[in-house]
Homo-oligomer: A and B are copies of this chain.
Amino acid sequence: MMDGATQDASEVLAALRFSGDGLIPAVAQQHDSGEVLMLAWMNRDAVAETLRTGRICYWSRSRKQLWRKGESSGHVQRLIELRVDCDGDALLVLVDQSGVACHTGTRSCFFRAARGGKLSEIQKPSGAMAPGETR
């Protein structure tokens, strides 16, 4: 698997179909364990920055700005490989996640499972917070 860092994005961007609001969903997967960590959104600038820098950059829909994952928490996602689906309207980013992906302190954002008609928490906060960081 190649390292995804420092690539020009123009050819990749040309293959992408952004939605009406200029966004595309991006699934982050830990490259070695296969764990799906989170789903977030990118705009054109976020895709370009991710490929250029080798660090995952999303678009925050709530803050309406580029969201350099881990900028405040230290829980950065290093890009291993960016993949594009058949229709060009979804991304899969293989990453190396530092610490935890979820703002709740769990490794993955998908820590609740439907079991017996109820949602069960199947993963607890790991405590693997960045040094000096409070949860």
A114 and B35 contacting across the interface, CB-CB below 8 Å: no
Which of chain A's residues 87-111 have a Cβ closer than 8 Å to chain B?
Answer: 87, 90, 92, 102-104, 106, 109-111
Residues of chain B within 8 A (CB-CB) of A92 are 36, 39, 110
Does chain B have a CB within 8 A of A11? yes
State the interface size on chain A (CB cutoff 8 A). Answer: 44
Does chain B have a CB within 8 A of A25? yes
A109 to B27, CA, bound (A): 13
Which of chain A's residues 1-37 have a Cβ closer than 8 Å to chain B?
Answer: 2, 4, 7-12, 15, 25, 27, 29, 33-36
Given A8-B117, A84-B119, A113-B81: A35 in contact with B34 (beta carbons within 8 A): yes
